[in-house]
Structure 1
Amino acid sequence: MSELGPGTAPAIGTRVSTGIAGLDDILGGGLTSSRLYLLEGTPGTGKTTLALHFLREGHDRGERTLYVTLSETADELTAAAATHGWSLDGIEVYELVNDLGLDPDSEQSILHPSEIELGETVTEVIARVEAVKPARVVFDSLSELRLLAQSPLRYRRQILALKQFFAKRACTVLMLDDRTSETGDVQLHSIAHGVISLDQAPREFGAERRRLRIVKMRGIKFRGGFHDLSIETGGIQVFPRLIAAEHRADFDSRGKSTGSPELDLLLGGGLVPGTNTLLIGPSGVGKTTTGIACMLAALERGETATYYLFDEGLATLLARAVMLGMDLAPHMEAGRLTITQIDPAELSPGEFAAMVRSAVEERGSTFVGVDSLNAYLHAMPGEEFLVLQMHELLSYLNQKGVTTLLVLGQHGILGEVRSDVDLSYLSDCIVLFRFFEAKGEVRTALSVVKSRVNAHERTIRELRLGAGGLRVGEALSDFEGVLTGLPAYHGRVAMLSGASALKVE
């Protein structure tokens, strides 16, 4: 227990920060002061950590803070805080279960939730608040108080009494509940000024998915729905659900070169800022290399780029790029390029969206690549959520004037191919890659099948990869069957040779 300074309580009705930037954003500026809030969630969802954020923020602002615990000891709370590198110095911790309860001269025999009276417990809490005069209070937890009450009516009356008491003393209160009641505490929802719900969902593989939802919040506009969160060393990070309509920017929408004149012609003038392009085709057909080549052209123009790598290893990508004459290391060293390798089993969609926002708004990235959407799909609980999340993310990037490249692998090499998910309607431009056989050799064809912004070519061209990077050949006028999954070439147009593929135009 630490010595407290004089402290200053915020004016009644003003907003107070929760200590978590993402949660404050969801609430539109924080909690309304001098109100009672319910923080509910099953054990392990992060209630105590969030409560400590709340109290530490108050202490940093010069406010008196009080943590009342019926379930954890002060040593346990101190140890929990230490795991995040925090100290509880300046935060008053009052435990109703302590050594004094074992003293025969104590007013209570043994301060155990099942053996003390509810009224006496509430009286002790009130006395402690009167002595400390805190601006922020955490009460942990209501499950013990519910057991002491033994009847819903008595329990509700005591909560109402506490609410009235705290309101008269300008206290902002978080009451923690672990949802141990069989029917849920709906009546408590009606008493509390606001309700914040935490939950976690285990997955068959990878980390559990943690989420936060504002069930109710009187008098303020908040962002509804579920918001992903993570608990790491250092505390909780909340990732507000992305709403694209909140983010708009002015930008130059003139097309920019991909670095290949033939590919620019195929696209109808290059890649347009504020649009997204889907590179789709079977594995090994050249999607990633084409994306890297387009990104390299942007970097050489002086743009800043971010590339998210879900499938391939970073070292493998960099080595292959060098082999193809596309050295990315100088741009990474100069800080213009950031390549982030993602483990989809450990990442939530909300966290990924926050990473993209940070790249655009903090690092100034104007080119973003996602490679590939197949792995991103496995980070989602279901296909419908992937489409909704990706729709908001792509709309956000488009409104920020970012050039976005998406890589989507298809199942199958030759013949019938299929995709995990159909994102064609979300894409502004689609570049289709296919293998085909000619003169005893497996080759690659590409065509643009959709563009919302350019009058693109409807021809099919050959793609060849070599030490000079990528090369796009002339239109193959007699190339048939590419859209059936069984393309065949019967024409007389010269194919790209291996030697010519090594030349850089």
Structure 2
Amino acid sequence: MQNQNTDTKRFLSTGVQGLDTILAGGLTSDRLYLIEGEPGTDKTTLALQFLQEGLRNGESVIYITLAESQVELRAVAQSHGWNMDGIHVEDIIPNENILHPDNQFTIFHPSEIEMGLTTQRILEAIEKYKPSRVVLDSLSELQLLAESPLRYRRQVLALKQYLAGKGCTTLFLDDRTALSGDLQVRSVAHGVITLELINQDYGSERRRVRIVKYRGIAFRGGTHDYKIVTGGLVVFPRLIAAHTRAYVSNAQLSSGPASLDALTGGGLDEGTSTLISGPPGTGKSSLCAQYVYAATQRGQKAAMFLFEEASNNLLRRSAGLGMDLLSAIDRGMLDIVQIDPAEMAPGEFMQAVTAAEAGGARVIVIDSLNGYLKAMPDERFLATHMHELLTYLGQRGVVTILVGVQTGIIGGAMSSSVDASYIADSVIMLRYFEARGKVRQAISVFKKRLGVHERTIRSFSMSAKGIFVGDVLTNFHGILTGVPTFDDEHCGALLDDEDAC
């Protein structure tokens, strides 16, 4: 028997992308860990990834199964493109002979015989293969064989000490299907990882992982989204902006048109978030595209995440306004990501955005916040998720532009599901208003945390020549109501020449 590892900083990788991050480095070697979750949470897949990682490192690994057959395990591995060669599988499943009347026990209770035989086969497999990584699937079978909580706890404790003494890092899988839902193994295990499966009213189910316990390690708490892809589990660690606090300079991002920059006090500040709000069709997405186009023309990378509009439509519409975003994509200066709202969890979206920042994007557009909130209606605290993301991007010096759609077209009853004061540092408002038989547009800056900005309301229009911010609507009253009053004598100076009185 070898000495158990006493170095709490000697970690083994789980082989699961993102899981080592929330475990603060991986699993302390020579310890026992409990992986618990209801059937369908892919505990088996996680366990096979753990063993596959051991194989890549040249370790001896073993999968001891009390429930699934070797054929079933190989089918799981094949679905992920894995080769089971090198993974020792000890199949301790009662065969069909146990059903024959001659094999029924009469003197001893069946569980007493089966528990002893099961334990013996486990120990023989460990002695034979001398593994450094062990998976035991599943504890529910052991619990049913043990019958009493005391016997079950003693059995688990004995296995824990034996495996640790053999230098084994062990995963015990528990599908929570035993008769009693006690917490015996949680108290014995060095760490506990819980997998959860949450059904949604619409779209795919949500999967979450949580570290319940990890002795001596400052792991990343809370729930973290994960998904199953070909190749195994992928975990999306919960974003904690406080871990990346840094001071960044606040240069300003020009939009291109001088009149628009003047309205915003010189441009949008780096490290801030800006909400462009207004009713449908006022030009919010086009205004975002203007900032993105100006950035790519200066040699800055940008990324756009679209929840509602198709990327092809955005590219065609932008081209009609004189902004060639397609060439920016071809030059590697712009990434446009079309979000499938029914299939993406909040954590996955957060990772996609942070990956864009890590790839060099200095301008990031999220279009729209309404689409983001409606994409995941069963999720709680989505606004908090977004606030954490914006704080993180701000600390990295990224200019983040958000689109917020207001309900209503013209009139005073304009509302939004987004709390602008909580979400954004700056707010640009676009509005429709009716004048002289035509529906016109206006733009104003309602809020800017850094620096000064114009508090005027200006005319706003779009054409093949691009975006145009016009004169201050000085002689109009009630623009924000959508039905203003104005002075006929001066209206010609305030409207476009073709629309003059």
Q: Provide the C-alpha distance between the structure 2 equivalents of 1:208 and 1:498, rounded to a whole number of angstroms.
A: 56
Could you list the runs of 5+ residues in structure 2 that have no partner in the other structure?
none
Q: Answer yes or no: is 1:47 the counterpart of 2:46.
A: no
Alignment-derived partner of residue 145 in structure 2: 148
Alignment-derived partner of residue 176 in structure 1: 173
Shift, 1:499, TM fit: 6.3
Instruction: Identify if the C-alpha distance between structure 1 residues 468 and 139 changes in structure 2 by more than 3 Å, giving closer, same or farther.
Output: same
Shift, 1:253, TM fit: 1.3
Shift, 1:146, TM fit: 1.1
C-alpha RMSD of the superposition: 2.4
Shift, 1:424, TM fit: 2.6
Shift, 1:174, TM fit: 0.3
String of CA shifts for 1:363-392, please: whole Å, max 9, x gaps. Answer: 211010000011110233557511110111
Instruction: Identify if the C-alpha distance between structure 1 residues 498 and 402 changes in structure 2 by more than 3 Å, giving closer, same or farther.
Output: farther
Q: Secondary structure at the match of 1:421?
A: coil
Of 375, 397, 420, which aligns to 2:417?
Answer: 420
Contact 1:345-1:378 at 8 Å conserved across structures: no
Q: Provide the C-alpha distance between the structure 2 equivalents of 1:103 and 1:43, rounded to a whole number of angstroms.
A: 26
Q: Answer yes or no: is 1:393 the counterpart of 2:389.
A: yes
Of 170, 183, 188, which aligns to 1:186?
Answer: 183
Shift, 1:487, TM fit: 4.4
Q: Provide the C-alpha distance between the structure 2 equivalents of 1:182 and 1:397, rounded to a whole number of angstroms.
A: 48
Contact 1:436-1:444 at 8 Å conserved across structures: yes
- Aligned letter for 1:309? L
Q: Secondary structure at the match of 1:436?
A: strand
Q: Which moved more, 1:458-467 or 1:184-193?
A: 184-193
Could you list the runs of 5+ residues in structure 1 that have no partner in the other structure?
1-8, 501-505
- Aligned letter for 2:368? S
Contact 2:362-2:397 at 8 Å conserved across structures: yes
Q: Percent identity over the alignment?
A: 51
Contact 1:479-1:489 at 8 Å conserved across structures: yes
String of CA shifts for 1:216-253, please: whole Å, max 9, x gaps. Answer: 00011100000000101111100000011222455441
- Aligned letter for 2:407? H
Q: Answer yes or no: is 1:286 the counterpart of 2:283.
A: yes
Q: Secondary structure at the match of 2:89?
A: strand
Of 114, 118, 130, which aligns to 2:115?
Answer: 118
Q: Which moved more, 1:256-265 or 1:491-500?
A: 491-500
Contact 2:429-2:446 at 8 Å conserved across structures: yes
Alignment-derived partner of residue 59 in structure 2: 63
Alignment-derived partner of residue 410 in structure 1: 406
String of CA shifts for 1:105-130, please: whole Å, max 9, x gaps. Answer: xx999xxx979521221121111111
Q: Provide the C-alpha distance between the structure 1 equivalents of 2:366 and 2:306, rounded to a whole number of angstroms.
A: 7
Taking the TM superposition and a 5 Å limit, the aligned residue runs for 1:22-37 are 22-37=18-33
Alignment-derived partner of residue 263 in structure 1: 260
Q: Provide the C-alpha distance between the structure 1 equivalents of 2:284 and 2:252, rounded to a whole number of angstroms.
A: 20
Alignment-derived partner of residue 6 in structure 1: none
- Aligned letter for 2:397? G
Of 486, 489, 492, which aligns to 1:490?
Answer: 486
Alignment-derived partner of residue 459 in structure 1: 456
Q: Which moved more, 1:255-264 or 1:136-145?
A: 255-264
Contact 1:39-1:176 at 8 Å conserved across structures: yes
Instruction: Identify if the C-alpha distance between structure 1 residues 23 and 369 changes in structure 2 by more than 3 Å, giving closer, same or farther.
Output: same
Q: Answer yes or no: is 1:372 the counterpart of 2:371.
A: no
Taking the TM superposition and a 5 Å limit, the aligned residue runs for 1:264-343 are 264-343=261-340
String of CA shifts for 1:293-325, please: whole Å, max 9, x gaps. Answer: 111011101000000011001111111111111
Contact 2:472-2:494 at 8 Å conserved across structures: no
